[in-house]
Amino acid sequence: MSSIKEYFSSVGKGIASLAKGMAVTGKEFVTPKITEQYPENRQTLKIADRFRAELKLKYDDNGRHKCIACGICQMNCPNSSISLKSKMVELPDGKKKKVLEEYDYDLGSCTFCMLCVTSCPQNALEFSNDFEQAVFTRDKLVKKLNYRPEPSVEEIIAAAAAPKPAMDPEQLAKIKAEALAKAAKIKAEKEAAQKAASMQQSDSKSDSVADSPNSDK
């Protein structure tokens, strides 16, 4: 008797499961379909702004990027997809400055982890959302990001020797006030730490005197 009940129970569960699946299938039959007419709609196709397709250097209106060839992006890249070439330029004051000579990026081995972008101290990198990166040979996936002409040595020296614009007095006063407040905060924290350490030391001395055998006599 129990086996018959189990049989009909399993049959009922199977029918319920089948009906549930068919309900989902029937719903999809009547759901309107949206098909992207690519590449006919290439001009109007909307790609998410956060989509990571290709690494790029940020260029300003004057055609200059902010990369200082520090190599942090190259060191943080897990697949060695970034390769930098730099050179040293001697400035008029005798100091030497590292400048970018060539920035190579291998799109074929990039994992789009974005560690290079987040670790850049100059905020000089970004990912574009241009997803059309298909090529016929792997060699074309290796790209030079600093494709625009780099400033010459003379231009770098002239920029370093040029006088810096004067800072706004209000901004300068604000920076000084913030620096003084930060210094006062550090000094107060240091004094508080020293006071706590001295109090702890005096408490430990008093405890050791109270626990000594001569203290009972």
59-98 pLDDT per residue, tens: 988 888 999 999 999 999 999 999 999 988 887 777 888 8
pLDDT at position 129 over 70: yes
Q: What is the pLDDT of residue 217?
A: 46
Kindly give, in sequence order, each residue whose CB lies less than 8 Å from that of residue 101, ignoring residues fewer than 6 positions away: 69, 85, 86, 87, 150
Max Cα distance, the chain (Å): 102
pLDDT at position 108 over 70: yes
Q: What is the pLDDT of residue 161?
A: 60
Domains annotated for the chain, with CATH where assigned, are 54-161 (3.30.70.3270)
Q: What type of residue is 188?
A: A
Residue pair 94/13 in contact by the 8 Å Cβ criterion: no
Q: What is the pLDDT of residue 86?
A: 92
pLDDT digits (tens, 9 = 90+) for 145-184: 998 877 776 666 666 665 656 667 787 788 888 888 888 8
Q: In angstroms, rounded to a whole number, what is the distance separating the alpha carbons of residues 188 and 207?
A: 29
Averaged pLDDT, 122-136: 92
Tokens of 126: 């970004």
Name the residue with higher pLDDT: 159 or 142: 142
Predicted model pTM? 0.56
Helices (H), the chain: 2-30, 72-76, 115-119, 153-161, 169-211
